[in-house]
Structure 1
Amino acid sequence: MIPVLICVLISLTVADSDLDTAYPDLELSRTIYVTENGPQLSVVAKESKVVSRRGGNATLPCRIQRYPSMPPNHKMRIKWTKLTSDYLKEVDVFVAMDFHKRSYGSFHGRVHLQGSSPMDASLVITELTLEDYGRYKCEVIDGLEDGTAVVSLDLEGVLFPYFPRLGRYNLNFYDAEKACRDQDAIVASFDQLFDAWSGGLDWCNAGWLSDGSVQYPITTPREPCGGKSTVPGIRNYGLRDKEKNHYDVFCFTSHYKGRFYYLIHPSKLTYDEAVGACQKDGAQIAKVGQMYAAWKLLGYDRCDAGWLADGSVRYPIANPRRRCSPTEAAVRFSGFPDKKHKLYGVYCFSGHD
């Protein structure tokens, strides 16, 4: 990197003795030019966003540009952190200085520097989880010089609105987090909700997002959803009290390792019989997030209503058709029926959650 000459303008206000006598209110400004070498180290990311999938790997780019005249420094420090939704807290991910390296928390054993050259500070993350989604900061400190770059890690996946058997608007933020986890998902971010809305999602019930805000997406304005005179968009209730306020939640899930399937069974089942039938088949009753992932990411299509782990009954339609889902591809929801009714089949999942 070539050093940059920076010109600093400093205005000094002085009073000229002769002029001051004749014009007491007149002041003269003199400008002094000061030059110095600019930064000799910078950090850049050739891509601002990297897209991968759960269970896969990702390389977050980070390149050090260091002026050749700088003396070698074996104590140059490379640190990666994950930025949280409130932008005030950072989670340590990985630190390296010379031969000393350390990974932290859930990243332990899953992260390392790509190290294609001494100036390559790119971070490799293996066995990606849903929680790995987000923004990461690469920081390099070399003596008195330092630089940072920020990279976003996105996951291929699907967003879905969710409420539990208790009914709508029964989840505070922490209940919402648990509800998504129980369905093999995480609370969605605003960016994920925006992408879903851009893809046509229209949902007239407010839900929690990962930053603690409550929002909902509308593509067809109407009276119960902000009014007919409003424009399409994402309605925003703002940040809400995470303990006292109760809403639905928007969850996000990605690819899974395993098999999602409808169990062929000679008779319809109660909920308990459905759980047992999956176990007898060497599997578990499937979760809502697994059905959405199979439907959206694998094109799973089945016009048979079946039990899921949360006690709901749903079925996935990838190819709209009469009597199944005539107008749109969707996961159809049949509610939370009495668990003792033998009216439905069951969806199972075998493999790793």
Structure 2
Amino acid sequence: LRLASGSHHPFYNGFYYNHIMNDKGNGQEKVVYFNGAKLVVETPKDPVYSSNGANVTLPCHYHYEPDLEAKRKIRIKWSKLRDDYTKEQDVLVAIGKTYMAFGDFRGRAHLHQAGRRDASLVVSDVRLQDNGKYRCEVIDGLEDESDVVDLRLQGIVFPYQPPHGQYRLNFHEAERVCQEQGAILATFNQLFQAWSEGLDWCNAGWLADGTVQSPIRLPRKPCGGLHLAPGIRSYGPRHRHLHRFDAFCFSSGLRGEVFYLDHPDGM
């Protein structure tokens, strides 16, 4: 790693560096070569499951290769990600035992810190919107490493059609009617899981990302034709104000059992 620095003071944060002057030897530019220990961040590869209203721990630990015994001044940052791994929002930033949570996570998120080099995040009173990917980032001076935890809420996806008829909801109205049912718009992964468990529905509905989809297990004429394979039919992204469809809602923490009815000739 080659870094340029304009400071005349030696740079040192517990790692090992070689300081090389420029060709003129006047110290106006300093080139720093990093030869130290490697920072490694580890999170579980399998999803972490929880439900609405529960408390959940998102595991994250770090270490050095080779190991460093000296106590480090570490900064830990947690972020919630979109499905494409771009940042959706900051969750928490911590240095030592001092931390700050942001947005909807304020008062609900803190670090676990059960042992040495534990950067795990604890989220209490889990909400439906908490479902998704989270990045655990550990920063030690010039070293910055991260890994991702996938939090999945256990629940049910259900189609919603307004009482006054099919395809009457734009995206924002679909968000509202799901909230009125104690739910939120489902993600594609949640709809896919529901499809794999038996959901079969011809009517196309809004998802949380603004796309419109319909889950078909039994191809038939009213659902695009007999020649199409089973799967999730995608209409792609639609205009959130002008276009109107039904909705696929997701809720968690429901009691009882859910049964998908067979209706090969209908919806």
When the two structures are superposed, what TM-score results if normalisation uses the length of structure 1? 0.61
TM-aligned CA distance change 1:126 to 1:330, over 3 Å = farther
- Given that 1:85 and 1:210 are in contact with CA atoms closer than 8 Å, whether structure 2 keeps it comes out as no
Where 1:236 maps in the other structure, the secondary structure is strand
In structure 2, C-alpha distance between the alignment counterparts of 1:69 and 1:157, rounded to whole Å:
43
| Amino acid of the structure 1 residue aligned with 2:63 | Q
TM-aligned CA distance change 1:330 to 1:226, over 3 Å = closer
Q: 2:109 aligns to what?
A: 111
- Given that 1:213 and 1:240 are in contact with CA atoms closer than 8 Å, whether structure 2 keeps it comes out as yes
Q: How far is 1:116 from its partner?
A: 1.5
Identical residues among aligned pairs (%):
49
| Amino acid of the structure 2 residue aligned with 1:62 | C
Where 1:106 maps in the other structure, the secondary structure is helix
| Amino acid of the structure 2 residue aligned with 1:125 | V
Where 1:152 maps in the other structure, the secondary structure is strand
- List aligned pairs for 1:134-283, cutoff 5 A: 134-255=132-253
Q: How far is 1:146 from its partner?
A: 1.1
TM-aligned CA distance change 1:71 to 1:330, over 3 Å = same
In structure 2, C-alpha distance between the alignment counterparts of 1:47 and 1:115, rounded to whole Å:
20
- Given that 1:94 and 1:111 are in contact with CA atoms closer than 8 Å, whether structure 2 keeps it comes out as yes
- Given that 1:171 and 1:246 are in contact with CA atoms closer than 8 Å, whether structure 2 keeps it comes out as yes
Q: 2:39 aligns to what?
A: 41
Q: How far is 1:81 from its partner?
A: 0.8
| Amino acid of the structure 2 residue aligned with 1:143 | G
Q: 2:61 aligns to what?
A: 63
- Given that 2:160 and 2:248 are in contact with CA atoms closer than 8 Å, whether structure 1 keeps it comes out as yes
In structure 1, C-alpha distance between the alignment counterparts of 2:68 and 2:176, rounded to whole Å:
54
Where 2:172 maps in the other structure, the secondary structure is helix
Kindly tell me the number of residue pairs found equivalent between the two proteins: 230
Where 2:195 maps in the other structure, the secondary structure is helix
- Structure 2 residue runs without a partner (length 5+): 1-33
In structure 2, C-alpha distance between the alignment counterparts of 1:59 and 1:117, rounded to whole Å:
14
- Given that 1:215 and 1:234 are in contact with CA atoms closer than 8 Å, whether structure 2 keeps it comes out as yes
- Structure 1 residue runs without a partner (length 5+): 1-35, 256-292, 300-317, 319-327, 333-353
Which one of 77, 80, 101 corresponds to residue 79 of structure 1? Answer: 77
Larger radius of gyration: 1
Q: 2:130 aligns to what?
A: 132
Give the number of the structure whose residues are more often helix, by fraction. 1
TM-aligned CA distance change 1:233 to 1:46, over 3 Å = same
Q: How far is 1:226 from its partner?
A: 1.8
Higher relative contact order (CA 8 A, sep 6+): 2
- What RMSD over aligned residues (CA atoms) do the two structures have, in Å? 2.3
In structure 2, C-alpha distance between the alignment counterparts of 1:173 and 1:85, rounded to whole Å:
19
In structure 2, C-alpha distance between the alignment counterparts of 1:92 and 1:65, rounded to whole Å:
24
